[in-house]
Amino acid sequence: MKILHVSNNPNIHLNTKILWNNLFYPLKKKAEVLEIGKKELFKFYFDYLRFKPDLILTTWVPAAFIPILFKRVGLVRCPIIHRWEDYYAETMTNYPYKLVKFMEDYCAKNADHLIVIHKTIYRKALQMNDSVFLLPYGVTIGNRKTKINLDKLKTKKNNLKVIYLGEINLPFKRVDKIIEAAREIDCDLFLFGEEPKEEYKQLIKGHTNIHYMGWAKPEEVINVLKQGDILVNTADLDMSMKFLDYVNAGRPILALNKRPAEFFKHKETAFLTEDFKEGLKTLIKDKKLRDNLSKNMKKIKLYSWKQIADIHFKLYEKILAGDKNLEKFRTSYYHVGV
């Protein structure tokens, strides 16, 4: 099978086993994969004619827009599977909102098939396309020991360790909310990600219990997260790779009581709140609740990226074979227990 993958930022390290989103490393073991990014879209059609793919996978916009437009006007013959993995118009704030929203909807409506990872997007996608699959993400490969010792950095012996891991400066991540909460609570907050912007540095200034830690190495992430007493994600996403890494670590999760409620159950698999200060206070005081949350993590089915690649590959094979019996792939592989 030959797969042409078109995305905004293609993996340029396909031979690297340790990746945040490494569907294409195991997939490359099963298929011949050619990846091109948005900066190479000027030669998309040349690559299509030269490579002669059996199918095209598109991820994100604007990169996905060109292949799907070419298919719409008859210049592309093979099936196009569009991976609608995010709320593009909300998150791609460097682009005009209306333009991204137009491309987001156009790609969803005109792709031959859609693969989504959010339940909220799944419901929306069903109104726009007749062939939609809710498939899971995998968890980060790697369980290497880390030299990071968060206990040594605590400002008070009895403080609980609160960890945020992910992009820090993107507005929709709402990291300022957990910074503001931690400033008024006896805990130590550890931020892993890119260097905070000046606005966040000012929020942190003078509060020695808030620690900026830089990026965690992907292969060490699980052993960093396991050191946390509470893992926090402030973004309004019902699922993400960061959430799955948190679940994999088995530590109590504090999340926003909006879209995350599609994935987690309040006080069962996460503590959901719209007030992160009060949420932190509750979890810090209630050890039994924290223990129950950790125990209940085991209800959530996790997959390795190899397992995810196997599921995808089986779906691709059926699509290429013209098999209409695809119901098994609609939702049944999604995370059990949520």
In a domain, 336, yes or no: no
**Pair 192, 60 in one domain:** no
> Which of these, 298, 283, 286, lies nearest to 249 by C-alpha position?
298
What is this structure's pTM?
A: 0.89
In a domain, 337, yes or no: no
**Pair 283, 316 in one domain:** no
**Pair 158, 259 in one domain:** yes
Residue 86 exposure: Cα atoms within 13 Å on the Cβ side? 19
Q: How many CB atoms lie within 10 A of CB 134?
A: 23
**Pair 126, 165 in one domain:** no
Per-residue pLDDT of the chain (338 residues; tens, 9 = 90+): 999 999 987 654 444 444 445 787 788 888 999 999 888 899 999 999 999 999 999 999 989 999 999 999 999 999 999 999 989 988 888 889 999 999 999 999 999 999 999 999 999 999 999 999 999 988 876 778 889 999 999 999 999 999 999 999 988 899 999 999 999 899 999 999 999 999 999 999 999 999 999 998 888 899 999 999 999 999 999 888 889 999 999 999 999 999 999 999 999 999 999 999 999 999 999 999 999 999 998 889 999 888 999 999 999 999 999 998 999 999 989 886 54
Number of domains into which the chain is organized: 2
Contact predicate 248/300, CB 8 Å: no
**Identity of residue 125:** A
In a domain, 335, yes or no: no
In a domain, 143, yes or no: no
In a domain, 338, yes or no: no
**Pair 177, 252 in one domain:** yes
Burial class (CB in 10 A: 0-12, 13-18, 19+), 264: buried
- The domain of 11 spans 2-138+304-329
In a domain, 49, yes or no: yes
Contact predicate 228/163, CB 8 Å: yes
**Pair 78, 13 in one domain:** yes
Give the separation between CA 78 and CA 309, rounded to whole angstroms: 20
**Pair 126, 186 in one domain:** no
**Pair 285, 191 in one domain:** yes
What is the CATH classification number for the domain harbouring 287?
Answer: 3.40.50.2000
> Which of these, 103, 102, 242, 90, lies nearest to 166 by C-alpha position?
242
